[in-house]
Amino acid sequence: MAVLEIRDLYVTVETEAGTTPILNGVTLTIRTGQTHAIMGPNGSGKSTLAYTIAGHPKYQVQSGTITLDGDDVLAMTVDERARAGLFLAMQYPVEIPGVTVTNFLRTAKTAIDGEAPAIRTWTKEVKQSMKNLRMDTKFASRNVNEGFSGGEKKRHEILQLELLKPQIAVLDETDSGLDVDALKIVSEGVNRAKAETDLGVLLITHYTRILRYIHPDFVHVMIGGRIVEEGGPELADRLEDEGYDRFLDAVSEPAVEADA
């Protein structure tokens, strides 16, 4: 069982106004087999947490720790974090002109596993995963995310999740920009990956609609770079009814998230 532990994490980012605090003492533990949902309004620090875990150089850790099975994640390069079992599904997947989906996926799999997958087995697995996600197999020969719709980009993120088989997946607003049908398909992909590999999931979202399909074990409310309340699935239901206003007094000066 893999355990991702975040302890008293403080993170800043450089903005036009200077060094800006974003995360202000986040503590969180995620184990394989668990689904954690982090919810909060825009500017609360959710995406900053995701990108800090992944190792984005824009975000500077001032203090605190992130460990995976006791190993110092903050001392790892981005590729080392991926090989250790961490995965980030981005809110805004980038286009990679000149790199086909087929080459991208096989190169990533080879880098993570340390050896290239057998062609016949790998091709069969890719086709089955694409079928499950209702992706036309023609996408395999297209450049990564180039000309993809928002929903197609998100399906491609979950295709990577299914094929790379990480231990802990951070899903940064995977539901944004999805219609109802695409939301169901993407959610089914996450649930399928979890069932097959005992995946641990950190699901970042504004809304409860994705939680109808990906059921969280734990819900955390983030305001001003802090987790101000934690609970089970019933907490998400309260947020649906009451919104975030009642939490705003929990912090004196909510941080502004530069990437929101």
pLDDT tens-digit profile of 209-219?
999 999 999 99
Confidence of residue 249 (pLDDT cuts 50, 70, 90): low
Query: Average pLDDT in the 97-112 region?
Result: 96
| Neighbouring C-beta atoms of residue 161, cutoff 10 Å | 26
Q: Is the pLDDT reported for residue 94 higher than 50?
A: yes
Give the pLDDT confidence score for residue 260 in this predicted structure. 43
From residue 25, give the alpha-carbon distance in Å to each of 20, 118, 162: 14, 45, 32
What is the per-residue pLDDT for 242? 86
Q: Has residue 255 got a pLDDT over 50? A: no
Whether 257 has a pLDDT exceeding 80, the answer reads: no
Which pLDDT score, from 0 to 100, does residue 1 have? 84
Torsion sign over Cα 58, 204, 200, 166: negative
